[in-house]
Amino acid sequence: MSVILSLRLQSLNSKMDISAMQWRTVLLFFVFCSECACGQISYSIPEEMAIGSMIGNIAQDLGLDIKRLKSGKARIFSGESMEYVDLNRENGLLLIKEKIDRESLCAKLTPCALHLQIIMENPMELYSVTVEITDVNDNAPTFQKNEMRFDISESAMIGARFVLGKAADPDVGINGLRSYSLKPTDNFVLDKESGGEKNVEMILQKPLDREKESQITLTLTAFDGGESRLSGTMQIYITIMDANDNAPVFTQKVYKAAIIENAKKGTKLTRVSASDADEGSNGHVSYYISDAVDIFLADLFLVDQQSGEVTLNGLIDYEKSSIHQLDIQARDQGGLSDTCKLVYR
């Protein structure tokens, strides 16, 4: 093995310019011949250091003479496609050649390290250098979407759950995603069990009331745990859908009308009116003479279903009674109703 190695090295040394492929071959030989490795050293630096920043003094730390670095044509070999580190043979300093982004180098892998070899010729020497790249909190948590929209019925049950998605933070450890908050918390709260790797969910904790609030905007915030805590937000827009939870209400419980003697058919007596707080057909009110009213009395009057206008539909016989009353009903299209009295004399 050692004979093959020395032959191979001689042939390599004879060439002025040794390609990376050939260096790789040399390294492979060294892997099989570990006694040729002359030392190793480790450094730890934060990611994102500026180009030209010093990682360490190789000459000092490995006890090498500067002259030897030059005469041995000391150079760096790394398996990475990108050359992040440079060796200055003039002063023995290991320098940042390309900015190191820990996230693109190692993603979520920890620890993250560059494994380099410093190789010298005449005689061949090999030193291994490990540069650990520590994480910097340079990414805020972000949501896949900036906003979400929900249509939720005001009759939704307490405890109803809604999936909000999740945020991601490419940093690691404490600099990664830590917590969520949802504000305001009047109707909805975050499910404490959700989050992390799972989607965040919110739970309805107080009934909705479209009549009070028909639109709700919430802000979901994701935080990391870094020293300068970073955050990302998502807006949640909720449209509260109507339920028929309000009956019509007459503006008066009793309407009075004075009917002059011999009043003709078609005489306008009064106009009843009810309001309904609901929306659309749930709030659309129609007027009727109550079914409970005696049929002969009911025939004496007409109520316009839409306007609530009450008109005379026949002749009133005051001989029988001088005071009369009639029940009128207001109904919405969901079947809820209110009743008022029309008193006439």
* Four-residue CA torsion sign, 177, 112, 87, 62: positive
Instruction: Determine, following the binding rule CB under 5 A, whether residue 329 of this chain makes contact with Ca ion.
Output: no
Instruction: Determine, following the binding rule CB under 5 A, whether residue 175 of this chain makes contact with Ca ion.
Output: yes
CA dihedral 321, 322, 323, 326 (to 10 degrees): 50
Helix (H) or strand (E) holding 342, with range, is strand 337-344
Instruction: Determine, following the binding rule CB under 5 A, whether residue 224 of this chain makes contact with Ca ion.
Output: yes
CB of residue 174 to Ca ion, shortest distance in Å: 9
Nearer to Ca ion, 191 or 278 (CB): 278
What is the SS3 string spanning 141-164?
CEECCCEEEEEEECCCCCCCEEEE
Best CA proximity match to 114, nearest among 102, 126, 124: 102
- Phi, psi at 301, each rounded to 5°: -130, 155
Among 55, 103, 118, 273, binds Ca ion (CB under 5 A): 103
CB of residue 330 to Ca ion, shortest distance in Å: 16
Instruction: Determine, following the binding rule CB under 5 A, whether residue 245 of this chain makes contact with Ca ion.
Output: yes
Neighbour-count burial of 16, counting CB atoms closer than 10 A to its CB (0-12 exposed, 13-18 middle, 19+ buried): exposed
CB of residue 140 to Ca ion, shortest distance in Å: 6
For the chain, give the longest Cα–Cα distance.
Answer: 139
Instruction: Determine, following the binding rule CB under 5 A, whether residue 101 of this chain makes contact with Ca ion.
Output: yes
Of 164-172, 215-223, 299-307, 309-317: span binding Ca ion (CB under 5 A): 164-172
Instruction: Determine, following the binding rule CB under 5 A, whether residue 86 of this chain makes contact with Ca ion.
Output: no
- Site size for Ca ion (CB under 5 A): 14
d(CA 176, CA 107): 12
Of 75-83, 111-119, 278-286, 337-345: span binding Ca ion (CB under 5 A): 278-286
Binding string, 180-219, against Ca ion, x = CB under 5 A?
----------------------------------------
Best CA proximity match to 129, nearest among 74, 168, 196, 171: 74
Say what angle helices 2-13 and 20-32 make with each other, to 10 degrees: 160
Instruction: Determine, following the binding rule CB under 5 A, whether residue 117 of this chain makes contact with Ca ion.
Output: no
How far, CA to CA in Å, does 179 sit from each of 77, 109, 169, 237?
42, 21, 11, 21
Residue numbers 125-154 binding Ca ion by CB under 5 A: 135-139
Among 125, 242, 332, 338, binds Ca ion (CB under 5 A): 242
Of 32-40, 58-66, 99-107, 264-272: span binding Ca ion (CB under 5 A): 99-107
Interface residues toward Ca ion, by CB under 5 A? 101, 103, 135-139, 169, 171, 175, 224, 242, 245, 278
